[in-house]
Structure 1
Amino acid sequence: MPQTPHQRAEAELTAYGLSFPEATSGPGWTITRALYVRKKMFTVFGEKGERLDALTMIMKLPISAEMAEELSFVRPARGWYKQHNWVIAHFGPDDDIGAEMETLKGWLKQSYVAVAPKKLGRMLD
Structure 2
Amino acid sequence: MTPHQQAEAELTAYGLTLPGAEEAPGWTPTRALNVNGKTFAIFGDKAQPVDALTITVKLPISAEMVAHLPFVRPAKGWYKQHDWVIADFGPEDDILAELDTLKAWLRQSYVAIAPKRLSRLMGEGPP
TM-score range, shorter chain: over 0.9
**Residue 26 of structure 1: CA displacement?**
1.5
Alignment of structure 1 residues 91-102 onto 2, 5 Å: 91-102=89-100
Q: Which runs of 5+ in 1 are unaligned?
A: none
Task: Decide which of 47, 52, 55 is 2:53's aligned counterpart.
Answer: 55
Pairs aligned (count): 123
Task: Decide which of 105, 111, 114 is 1:113's aligned counterpart.
Answer: 111
1:70 has 2:55 as partner: no
Alignment of structure 1 residues 11-30 onto 2, 5 Å: 11-30=9-28
Runs of at least 4 residues of structure 1 off by over 3 A? Answer: none
User: What is the CA RMSD across the aligned residues, in angstroms?
Assistant: 0.5
How far, CA to CA, are the matches of 1:55 and 1:94 in structure 2?
Answer: 11
> Match of 1:80?
78
**Residue 94 of structure 1: CA displacement?**
0.4
**Residue 104 of structure 1: CA displacement?**
0.2
How far, CA to CA, are the matches of 1:78 and 1:7 in structure 2?
Answer: 26
How far, CA to CA, are the matches of 1:17 and 1:64 in structure 2?
Answer: 19
**Residue 124 of structure 1: CA displacement?**
1.6
Aligned partner of residue 10 in structure 2, secondary structure: helix
How far, CA to CA, are the matches of 1:122 and 1:113 in structure 2?
Answer: 9
With normalisation by structure 2, the TM-score equals 0.95
With normalisation by structure 1, the TM-score equals 0.97
> Match of 1:122?
120
How far, CA to CA, are the matches of 1:4 and 1:57 in structure 2?
Answer: 16
Aligned partner of residue 110 in structure 1, secondary structure: helix
How far, CA to CA, are the matches of 2:24 and 2:81 in structure 1?
Answer: 25
